[in-house]
Structure 1
Amino acid sequence: MESLHATHLGKRYGRRAALTDVTLTVPAGRIVGLVGPNGAGKSTFLQLVCGLLSPTTGALRVLGAPPAADAKHLARVGFVAQDAPVYPTLSVADHLRLGARLNPRWDPDLAERRIAAIGVEPGRKAGRLSGGQRAQLALALAVAKRPELLILDEPAAALDPLARVEFLDHLRDSVTELAASAVLSSHLLSDVERVCDHLIVLADGRVRLAGDVRDLLRDGPHASLEELVLGSLR
């Protein structure tokens, strides 16, 4: 089964084209690194995948259906935004209770294990957590939905190096446990190298490169992921 399939996908904001003629397929079970310079169209693509935006042209299928096709389809997709949105006045435990009420596939044991793994007291207010802890809480809430696809838009952008590594390791472990797929947007190639096995490079709203990292490195002249990405942008 395919996680994502886009055919001549395009999105315009007035006269400005954010995405143009994006055609790609992502097999299920991959952790996808979505990379490209600022303004490449990464966030627009992820918002289309989540159903927050509608395409101007072309078609997109997510887990075999149009994005956000219905409530059941929404439950199959987890989303973590760049600012790790949590409610500062609610405790960690309050967030877990809210997640249980809002998500029909909620797994309380998984949620509690993820919170215990990051060492956060359930009674602490989210507003008193560090940036890394808030990001980990947002990830735990998304994972406990037991989604088939996780979408992450620069979730570790503001984290220090240690917190970033811990976040990425939890992401990889969660995807493995769920047997899910994930799309991780990041401006750091080190993030992609650590956890991703599939790559999409966007620039100027177009796909410059897409495929499994191992195949791309094997079939091309580049010796590293950095060379591969930079070569696709020239």
Structure 2
Amino acid sequence: MDLALETDQLGKRYGKRWALRDCSLHLPTGCVAALVGPNGAGKSTLLHLAVGLLRSDAGTVRVLGESPYGNTAVLSEIGFVAQDTPLYRDFTAAELITMGARLNRRWDAALARNRLAQLGIPPGQPVGRLSGGQRAQVALALALAKRPRLLLLDEPVASLDPLARNNFLRLLVDSAAETGATVLLSSHLLADLERACDYLIVLNAARVRLVGTVNELIAEHRHLVGPRHGHHPIPGVTAVVQADHTERQTTLLARIHKPVADPAWTMREVTLEDLILAYLSEGDTQAGHTEWEVSA
């Protein structure tokens, strides 16, 4: 299996706090992958390590088989759109495309011009005067013009209205299919990810909680509804991810390795949103009591 991104026990620390810890994952080439987690989970840190903006404090990260930190050869294969879509606000879109041709050894100016023309973005207007959605599209077009093998996007649609998000994601998916680029998209917007992504990485409390193709992960999980359950094993269940109990009934979100044959349990399919929310609530997100001093 060819890998666009792989990490092994990757960690990054700021002072005494681990922003990312024991992060091990594999991202196959050709995927459009969702990177999901709450604020502070380590998503931006992982992306910044992958694009060589940070050096790890533990473990390894490899992009297209090589370490990205200080590696200009592999960095030329990576496109990156940061969270605030940083652009030179006084430059026009046309000027940014011209500048990109001078800074990148492989540059498809025609691709960028065609994408922006299709979106009706004016070439001669400073990008600082464009709407947030238009600036995001300019940033994406510039990243795609680099013809990257791996495209990393850090919350690029967070501030966009629904129409602008839809246009952005449609262009992203179409471009990935056209160029064969692998995409890793960080976002909180689960409905958008469900439409656009075929691979999932869930981060919580600085660690990887779940990773794999969307179809396989959904097939491996089920809601189980049955009588009030203790802690005895259920044949077919590998692990219980989330459990809710009433006086007489238990509802589980479980990872299964075969259908649950016990007639006491009713199996129901899960959605991608069900899966993500269950694994996000699973992590250790509570601060220890020793970190708080409560005055009498």
Interval of TM-score (by shorter of Structure 1 and Structure 2) = over 0.9
Deviates more, 1:25-34 or 1:117-126: 117-126
- Name 1:86's counterpart in structure 2: 87
Structure-1 separation of matches of 2:199 and 2:53: 24
The TM-score, its normalising length taken from structure 1, stands at 0.97
**Paired residue type of 1:103:** N
Q: Are 1:165 and 2:166 counterparts?
A: yes
- Name 1:144's counterpart in structure 2: 145
Structure-1 separation of matches of 2:40 and 2:109: 38
**Paired residue type of 2:142:** L
**3-state SS of paired residue (1:95):** helix
**Paired residue type of 1:74:** L
**3-state SS of paired residue (2:164):** helix
Structure-1 separation of matches of 2:277 and 2:157: 22
Of the candidates 267, 279, 286, which is equivalent to residue 232 of structure 1?
279
- Name 2:73's counterpart in structure 1: 72
Higher RCO (CA < 8 A, seq sep 6+): 1
List gaps (5 residues or longer) in structure 2.
Answer: 223-268, 283-296
Per-residue deviation, 1:93:
0.7
Per-residue deviation, residues 41-67 of structure 1 (Å, max 9, x unmatched): 111111111111111110110111001
Q: Which has the larger radius of gyration?
A: 2
**Paired residue type of 2:101:** A
The TM-score, its normalising length taken from structure 2, stands at 0.77
- Name 1:155's counterpart in structure 2: 156
Q: Does the Cα contact within 8 Å between 2:82 and 2:155 map onto a contact in 1?
A: yes
Alignment of 1:170-209 (within 5 A): 170-209=171-210
- Name 1:33's counterpart in structure 2: 34
Per-residue deviation, 1:25:
0.6
State the superposition RMSD in angstroms. 1.0
Structure-2 separation of matches of 1:52 and 1:121: 32
Structure-1 separation of matches of 2:114 and 2:72: 26
Q: Are 1:105 and 2:106 counterparts?
A: yes
Alignment of 1:100-139 (within 5 A): 100-139=101-140
**3-state SS of paired residue (1:192):** helix
Structure-2 separation of matches of 1:8 and 1:164: 34
Structure-1 separation of matches of 2:88 and 2:208: 36
Per-residue deviation, residues 60-103 of structure 1 (Å, max 9, x unmatched): 10111001453221110000011111112111110110011111
- Name 1:44's counterpart in structure 2: 45
Per-residue deviation, 1:109:
1.5
**Paired residue type of 1:224:** T
**Paired residue type of 1:156:** V
Q: Does the Cα contact within 8 Å between 2:3 and 2:64 map onto a contact in 1?
A: yes
Structure-1 separation of matches of 2:9 and 2:89: 41
**Paired residue type of 2:194:** E
Per-residue deviation, residues 96-129 of structure 1 (Å, max 9, x unmatched): 1001111111012111111112111211111111
List gaps (5 residues or longer) in structure 1.
Answer: none
Q: Does the Cα contact within 8 Å between 2:54 and 2:69 map onto a contact in 1?
A: no
Deviates more, 1:60-69 or 1:210-219: 60-69
Per-residue deviation, residues 163-184 of structure 1 (Å, max 9, x unmatched): 0111111111111111010110
Aligned residues: 234
